[in-house]
Structure 1
Amino acid sequence: MARVGVIGAGAWGTALACAARRAGNEVLLQAHEAEVAENINRTHANPTFLPNTNLDPNITATQELCDVADCDVILMVAPAQYVRATCQSLKASYKKGTPLLVCAKGIELDSGQIMSEVIAQELPEAEIGILSGPTFAIEVANALPSACTLAMGDMQRAMEVANIIGSNRFRIYASDDVIGAQIGGAVKNVLAIASGMVSGKGFGDNARAALITRGIAELARLGVAKGAKTETLMGLSGMGDLTLTCNSMQSRNFSLGVALGQGEALEDILKVRKAVTEGVFTARSVCKLADSLQVDMPICAAVNKILNEGADITKVVDGLLARPFKEEI
C-alpha cells in the first residue's frame, strides 16, 4: 500500500482520490476550502464539487499542503493557472524524488508555458508526470471503466507509478511523451468550447464532425511544433480526450460553448459555476503559444476572439467558413 496525496478537492481531484483508494492506497485529499475538508472527513462526501457521490471512509482530507508532501505519490489537480503558486507553497516541504503527477489541463496564461515547464522552474527536483485522458470525474468516481495516459520522462518509472494508482476500472497506459500528453489536454478544452458553440447555434452534426476533425489537425500541428510525438496526439490524451469533451454536456467546456451559442453572455455563465472552465483561460494561452511557434490554428484563434475580444459568434463562424479551400494534409 502506498500513500497517495491529491492536491485539489474539486470534482476531478475527488474522483482521482476515489480511483487511488480503489487501487488499494492510503489517500489524503487536500482541499482549499475548510467546509469541503470537513464534509469529506465527517460525512464522506463532497457535495460542493462532486454531489450525490459517496466516498470511501478511508479517504481523508486536509487543508495543509505540507501533509500531502509526506505521501509517496502526489497528484497535482490544482487548476492550471494556479499550479505555479501551488508549487511555490509546496516547495518547502516537497521531498526530492516523489512523483508529482500533473492532472490539470492547460497552458499558463502569463508565460505561455505548459505545466511541466512551470513545475520544473518552481520545483527543479520534482519527478514530473502527466496524467491525462478522456475521463469525466463522476464516471471515474463511480468506478465506470476509464483509461488515460501517464507520461513521464522514464518509461519504466511511468509503469511503476501506473501500477500504484491504476486498476481494472482506471486503466493507465504509460508514455514517455510528456509534451504530447499536455498539448492534447490543453487544446481540447478550447476545441470543446468551439464544438459547443456549433451545437448551441444549431449548425448540425455535420458541422460538429468537421470542426472536431479540423481541430485534431490544429492540435497535431501545435504538438509537433512543440516537440510532441504524433502517435501521442492520436491517443488517449489527444484525440481520445478531444472526442469525449467535444460531444457531451458533462464537459464544462462543451456546455459553456453551447450556452454561448444560444446567446448567453460569458460573464453570466461563469458567475453561476463553482468549478473552473479551463478552456476560457487556455484559449488565450494556446494562441500565444501558437504564435510563438508560428503555427496556424484558426479554430482556436476564433474561440479566443469570441471569449476574450468580444467578437460576434456568427461573424467569426462566417469568417472561418469563408477561408480559402486547401489540401487536407
Structure 2
Amino acid sequence: MKVTILGHGAWGSALAIHLCQSHSTTLWGRDPDALENIQRERENKLYLPGIPLPDNLILSTHLNEALLSAKLVIIATPIASLRSLLEAIHPLTQVPIIWACKGFEPKTGYLAHQIGLEILGVDYPCAVLSGPSFAQELAKGLPTAVTLAAKNIDLAQELMRELHHPRLRLYASEDIVGVEIAGAMKNIIAIAAGLSDGLQLGHNARAALITRGLAEISRLGVAMGGKSETFMGLSGLGDLVLTATGPLSRNYRVGKLLAEGQRLEAILKSLGHVAEGVGAALEVMRLANQYHIDLPISRMVEALLNEQITPQQALLSLLNREPKRES
C-alpha cells in the first residue's frame, strides 16, 4: 500500500521510517530547503538526529506528486496546520485520512475531528492515531503501541490491520472524542508533573499528580461524550504516564524549567518543538467552565502559564484544597 505522510517533523519522520518497512512511503514537507537537507544527508538532523532514513523512503515538497496513487494519507503536523492541509488535499484525493495531531486548534478551540467534520463532511473516512509514542523510540525500532480511533469501527479495524506491525501495535477504537481529549489534556498534566519534579517534591507527589490528573481527564472527557474505558487505555493512561514521566517529553520539560525559574517564552524558544500543553491549558479551562467541571490541576497550570501565580504558589493552591472523597 502506498502511504503519504504530511509533515517532516519528529513524529512524521518516525512514522515514515517505520512504515516504509512494509509500505511504499512518501514523506512530504512544505519547506524545500529543509527537505533538500534531509534528502542530501538522508537524516532529519533537526528532529531525529543520528537516525538514518531508509533508502526506499521518498521525500517530496510537491503535494500533488506526494498524493499521487496514495491509498492512505497520514497528517503528522501540529494541529495548527491541520485545517490548511485538509483544505489543500480534499480536492486532490478521497482516500482515508489519519491525523496524528494532539491538542486544540488555536482561535477556534476545535479538536481535530471537529476540524475534519467541518472540511471533509460527516461521511469522509478518517481516523485519529494517538497513544504513548516518543518519535525517537519508534524511529529506532523500539516497540510502541497506540490507539487508532474512527467513528466507523469497521474503518478503524481495517486501517489497524493494514498498519499493524510487531514494533507498532495498533488497537482499534470508535471513541474519537475520548482519544482526542486524552491526547490534549495529558500534556497539561505533564507540565504539572515536570513542575513537581522541578520543585523536588518527590515521586509520591508526582504519582499523586498523575493519578488525580487522570481523574480530571476522565471527568471532562466523559462530559464531552467520551467513554470512561478509553481513559484507562493507551490513549489515556498510557500516554499520560509516558508524557508525565519521560525526559523526552516537551511538556514535562516546560514544567520542570518553569520550576527552575525560567520564563515561558525562553523555554519554548529553546525547545525548538511545539509543546501542546501550553496552548491546551486555556482551552481546557474554557471547556471546564462550559461543562461546570472542577479541574484544579489544569486550572493551576493555566494560571502558572499566564504568570498569574509562581510555581511555589501553584503548589500551595493544590496542597491547601479542602479534603474530599476520592470518587
Within 5 A, what are the aligned runs for 1:78-93? 78-93=77-92
Task: Give the length in aligned residue pairs.
Answer: 325
Compute the displacement of 1:230 (Å).
0.8
Residue 227 of structure 2 is aligned to residue 226 of structure 1: no
In structure 1, the partner of 2:17 is 18
Secondary structure of 1:61's match? strand
Provide the rounded CA distance (Å) in 2 between the counterparts of 1:281 and 1:65: 28
Compute the displacement of 1:73 (Å).
0.9
Secondary structure of 2:195's match? helix
- AA partner of residue 75 (structure 1): I
Deviates more, 1:306-315 or 1:274-283: 306-315
Provide the rounded CA distance (Å) in 1 between the counterparts of 2:124 and 2:38: 28
Are the counterparts in 2 of residues 45 and 53 from structure 1 also a CA contact under 8 Å? Answer: yes
Are the counterparts in 2 of residues 6 and 77 from structure 1 also a CA contact under 8 Å? Answer: yes
In structure 2, the partner of 1:237 is 235
Are the counterparts in 1 of residues 189 and 298 from structure 2 also a CA contact under 8 Å? Answer: yes
Of all paired residues, the percent bearing the same amino acid is 38
Q: Provide structure 1 residue ranges, at least 5 long, that are not aligned to the other structure.
A: none
Q: Provide structure 2 residue ranges, at least 5 long, that are not aligned to the other structure.
A: none
Equivalent of 1:126 in 124, 136, 160: 124
In structure 2, the partner of 1:110 is 107
- AA partner of residue 75 (structure 2): M
In structure 2, the partner of 1:73 is 72
Are the counterparts in 2 of residues 284 and 308 from structure 1 also a CA contact under 8 Å? Answer: no
RMSD: 1.4
Residue 191 of structure 2 is aligned to residue 193 of structure 1: yes
Are the counterparts in 1 of residues 250 and 271 from structure 2 also a CA contact under 8 Å? Answer: no
Secondary structure of 1:54's match? coil
Secondary structure of 1:53's match? coil
Secondary structure of 1:289's match? helix
Provide the rounded CA distance (Å) in 1 between the counterparts of 2:151 and 2:239: 21
Q: What TM-score, normalized to structure 1?
A: 0.95
Provide the rounded CA distance (Å) in 1 between the counterparts of 2:288 and 2:28: 34
Compute the displacement of 1:30 (Å).
1.1
Deviations 1:244-295 (A, max 9, x none): 1111111011111111111111111111222111111111112222222222
Deviates more, 1:102-111 or 1:220-229: 102-111
Provide the rounded CA distance (Å) in 1 between the counterparts of 2:33 and 2:164: 29
Within 5 A, what are the aligned runs for 1:149-188? 149-188=147-186
Equivalent of 1:257 in 255, 258, 261: 255
In structure 1, the partner of 2:201 is 203
In structure 1, the partner of 2:285 is 287
Q: What TM-score, normalized to structure 2?
A: 0.96
- AA partner of residue 134 (structure 1): P
